[in-house]
């Protein structure tokens, strides 16, 4: 069974966490929401508060080595908090250095920049990250979803159907399982 970590904290764009989790679980992946704290995190619907979302594990209680793939949802505050937290950056850095599949949407690539995971990659994101990604060495494209090796990126909630389909395929779960 493929084990997937979804790294998020308060301010996460709610559907960018819930829809990938739903798609991965439907494809029989074991998904764990990892956060800076136990309990719940505040979901957002753009700039309005959404639901409180359950956290499976606090970041300090899990090891990145236990997971096969990583999802980085967006929202503005979520990745901004994560990219300044050394434990969160180290967690993401493990996936980058180990060459494990990573899926990031919207503002999620901000944390990937801090972990050294964008240089030389073709990516997309929320448009306001274009300069950040370019300055970090990525080639930015305005497309619903971009797959570059084991990295998949997407722009916004409206791109979630494409993002989830390609993520399931890249992670090798369910009907999207890649041939060995």
Which of the residues 46, 57, 94, 107 is marked catalytic?
Answer: 107
The token pair at 109 is 């690539």
Q: Is 107 a catalytic residue?
A: yes
CA angle 129, 70, 113 (to 5 degrees): 30
> CB atoms < 10 A from the CB of 98, how many?
12
Q: Let me know: does 165 contact 156? Beta carbons within 8 Å.
A: no
DSSP annotation of 165 reads: H
Which residue shows structure tokens 């791109």? 159
DSSP annotation of 179 reads: P
**DSSP per residue, 103-149:** EEETTTHHHHHHTT--TT-EE---GGGHHHHHHTTPEE--SSEEEET
Q: Let me know: does 11 contact 81? Beta carbons within 8 Å.
A: yes
Q: Containing H/E element for 111?
A: helix 109-114
Distance CA 30, CA 25 (A): 7
Q: Which residues are catalytic?
A: 107
């Amino acid at each position: 069974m493929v084990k997937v970590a979804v790294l998020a904290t308060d301010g996460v764009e709610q559907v960018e966490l819930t829809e990938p989790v739903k798609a991965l679980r439907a494809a029989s992946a074991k998904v764990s929401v990892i956060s800076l704290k136990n309990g719940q995190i505040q979901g957002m619907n753009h700039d309005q508060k959404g639901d409180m979302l359950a956290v499976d594990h606090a970041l300090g209680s899990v090891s990145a080595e236990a997971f096969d793939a990583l999802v980085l949802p967006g929202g503005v505050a979520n990745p901004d908090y994560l990219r300044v937290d050394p434990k969160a950056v180290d967690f993401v850095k493990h996936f980058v250095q180990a060459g494990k599949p990573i899926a990031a949407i919207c503002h999620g690539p901000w944390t990937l920049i801090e972990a050294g995971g964008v240089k030389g990659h073709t990516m997309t994101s929320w448009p306001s990250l274009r300069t950040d990604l370019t300055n970090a060495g990525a080639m930015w494209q305005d497309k619903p979803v971009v797959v570059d090796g084991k990295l998949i990126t997407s722009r916004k909630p409206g791109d979630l159907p494409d993002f989830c389909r390609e993520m399931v395929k890249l992670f090798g779960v369910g009907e999207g399982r890649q041939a060995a």
